[in-house]
């Protein structure tokens, strides 16, 4: 898998990271794209990382507010969590051109920022939704089918955290039959955080 590129980030707070993100080379490639930084409660101890904002997220400046976000809210609700009990961000802080999933190369560039983000939030558990974010965080090329449902510890910029990879809600909207497996992953996640 592509190794995370080295970026010398200075941010020591979330506000600083948000500001610093706008100055990065990856941001410069999307000159007019608004930043979609995060939503929810950074003190909740529970972090959720998606792939990239879509059109509605870009419009509102908040992650997971479109159709996939509505399903994510229902999935979280099923384990008793609302938006104030989680902190949500994405691997990409910008909507990719053409709504693509971030490429492996982009993921390598985005990962240092995500690592710093995780280190500042210090979650006690992290739910990675979708192959792109799970692969980036676990630094693997294995597909989501193979890696979902199993806790794996990562170290993000000095902060150790267990990661539960699961399916992306946009995928579950297309393949509702997979909700059974996603439900198992959510229960495992819920057991660890409660």
- Residues at the site binding ligand URA, with contacts judged by CB under 6 A: 50-54, 57, 63-64, 66, 68-69, 90, 130, 170
Strands 125-129 and 46-50, bridge-based pairing: parallel
Minimum distance from residue 69 beta carbon to ligand URA (Å)? 6
Kindly report the number of other CB atoms within 10 A of residue 53's CB atom: 30
Minimum distance from residue 72 beta carbon to ligand URA (Å)? 8
Minimum distance from residue 68 beta carbon to ligand URA (Å)? 4
Nearest to 154 by CA among 175, 129, 178, 136: 136
Minimum distance from residue 3 beta carbon to ligand URA (Å)? 23
What is the number of the residue whose Cβ is closest to ligand URA? Answer: 50
- Of 38 and 156, CB closest to ligand URA: 38
Hey, what are 53's tokens? 């904002």
- Of 66 and 149, CB closest to ligand URA: 66
- Of 39 and 109, CB closest to ligand URA: 39
- Of 50 and 149, CB closest to ligand URA: 50
State in Å, rounded, how far the first CA of the chain is from the last one.
33
Nearest to 43 by CA among 6, 86, 5, 12: 86
Diameter of the chain measured on Cα atoms: 44
């Amino acid at each position: 898998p592509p190794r995370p590129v080295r970026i010398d980030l200075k941010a020591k707070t979330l506000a600083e990271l948000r500001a610093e993100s706008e100055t990065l080379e990856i941001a410069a490639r999307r000159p007019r794209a608004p930043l979609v930084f995060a939503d929810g409660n950074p003190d909740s101890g529970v972090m959720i990382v998606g792939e990239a904002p879509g059109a509605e997220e870009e419009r509102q400046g908040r992650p997971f507010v479109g159709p996939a976000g509505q399903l994510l809210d229902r999935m979280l609700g099923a384990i008793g969590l609302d938006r104030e009990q989680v902190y949500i961000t994405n691997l990409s802080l910008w909507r990719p051109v053409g709504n693509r999933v971030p490429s492996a190369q982009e993921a390598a560039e985005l990962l240092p920022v995500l690592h710093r983000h995780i280190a500042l939030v210090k979650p006690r558990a992290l739910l990675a939704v979708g192959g792109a974010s799970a692969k980036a965080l676990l630094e693997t090329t294995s597909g989501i089918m193979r890696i979902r449902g199993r806790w794996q510890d990562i170290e993000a910029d000095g902060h150790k955290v267990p990661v539960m990879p699961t399916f992306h809600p946009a995928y579950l909207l297309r393949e509702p039959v997979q909700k059974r497996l996603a439900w198992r992953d959510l229960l495992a996640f819920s057991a660890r955080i409660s």
